[in-house]
Amino acid sequence: MSRVRVLVGTRKGAFILSADGKRENWEVSGPHFAGWELYHLKGSPVDPNRIYASQTSGWFGQIIQRSDDGGKTWTQPGTPPGEPTTTPDGMPKGESNKFVYDTSAATGKPLTTHQFYDGTQHPWEFKRVWHLEPSLSDPDTVYAGVEDAALFRSSDGGKSWHELAGLRGHGTGPKWQPGAGGMCLHTIMLDPADPKRIFIAISAAGAFRTDDGGATWKPINRGLKSQYIPDPEAEVGHCVHHVAFHPSRPDVLFMQKHWDVMRSDNAGDNWHEVSGNLPSDFGFVIDVHAHEPNTIYVAPIKSDGEHFVPEGKLRVYRSRSGGNEWEPLTKGLPQSNCYVNILRDAMAVDKLDSCGVYFGTTGGQVYCSSNAGDTWSAIVHDLPSVLSVEVQTLP
């Protein structure tokens, strides 16, 4: 029988939740890396036992961890305990947490500043990895979305990282600015139909696409309207919170923006709003059903000033029409006195026949629906504040 493994990143460590295909009885492992912020964990699609994790701390900076046994044991890539501390040619190891922005002339346009909170130009400063996206074809290749916003890639299992500098260098970088959570590259989507196409999103810059494997990029924000920037329809500057697609239909993108739920039917070239009858179109997460490309999920949040669910009711909203018409999913979720948030990377779907939907809250609950959202139950109630949720469907 198939199994699922839910990878949960929290403010104080990582947890791994495992169950068989019924998704009723759960085994909880953790905390892994207790006391550290785990912004994201994600497994390789081609080797599910290979899991990458972003471990970070305001004190000690960024650490990349890797497991090759499904999360039982972890090492920093390139520095397993007990092995030599230098390479055969004498180079020091310990490069797996080294994220250095590319300023070489060879990559074209070294870019050193972006817009800061006070309107001045500010140099790029690496802070942390928000999102790790393993390659669809090679377990040793993985992308990292970082703050301050940039995209890095490792092709040696996370031992070393190199920036895809064309993203920062394409020209609009000086207009990017940090959102309240920092200037983070939080979404990376690899097109299964075209290995050279990648979508990314940045708060607060917008969405971008490359069609040549990361060498050149273009903003894909036409149709977005953001009243909180001087030109609401500017080319960049939009606070995109998350973007999702169905792997079978990678030209159809769904976006939860700061305000507004948006849809594109041409790989981001144009967007239109599909917020419809949502009680609030502010939110962070958005995801797509594993088997129904037109069924999407959001978790509305009251407002940008009040980051909790509206009316004290925890409701996931589902649209079976690709947007505009939404139904609340409430069975099993608290419907009074609930004031949690669901952060941008904290929702995921499994690939079992009856699609499972998962999300984590800032109150430390991780909820599971094994029937596409019709009913919910909490796997765990009292974890630290949840930053991210991913799920692996295992044979």
Q: Which residues bind another protein (CB under 8 A)?
A: 35-36, 57-63, 76, 78-79, 81, 85-86, 92-95, 97-98, 100
Nearer of residues 76 and 365 to another protein, judged by Cβ = 76
What is the spatial distance between Cα 393 and Cα 360, in angstroms, rounded to a whole number? 18
Burial (Cβ within 10 Å: 0-12, 13-18, ≥19) of residue 240: buried
Q: How far is the CB of 153 from another protein (least distance, A)?
A: 18
Q: How far is the CB of 61 from another protein (least distance, A)?
A: 6
- H or E segment and range at residue 225: none
Q: How far is the CB of 12 from another protein (least distance, A)?
A: 12
Q: How far is the CB of 79 from another protein (least distance, A)?
A: 4
Nearer of residues 13 and 363 to another protein, judged by Cβ = 13
Q: How far is the CB of 150 from another protein (least distance, A)?
A: 14
Nearer of residues 93 and 351 to another protein, judged by Cβ = 93
How many H helices and E strands in the chain? 1, 29
| Positive/negative CA dihedral, 125, 128, 131, 137 | positive
Q: How far is the CB of 52 from another protein (least distance, A)?
A: 16
What is the spatial distance between Cα 190 and Cα 207, in angstroms, rounded to a whole number? 14
**Residue 335 is encoded by which pair of tokens?**
């419907």
Nearer of residues 55 and 135 to another protein, judged by Cβ = 55
Which pairs with CB-CB distance under 8 Å and at least 24 residues apart come from 367-372?
367/332, 367/333, 368/6, 368/23, 369/316, 369/329, 369/332, 370/22, 370/23, 370/24, 372/289, 372/292, 372/295, 372/318
Nearer of residues 93 and 249 to another protein, judged by Cβ = 93
Nearer of residues 49 and 75 to another protein, judged by Cβ = 75
- Type of residue at 253: L
**Residue 116 is encoded by which pair of tokens?**
């800061």
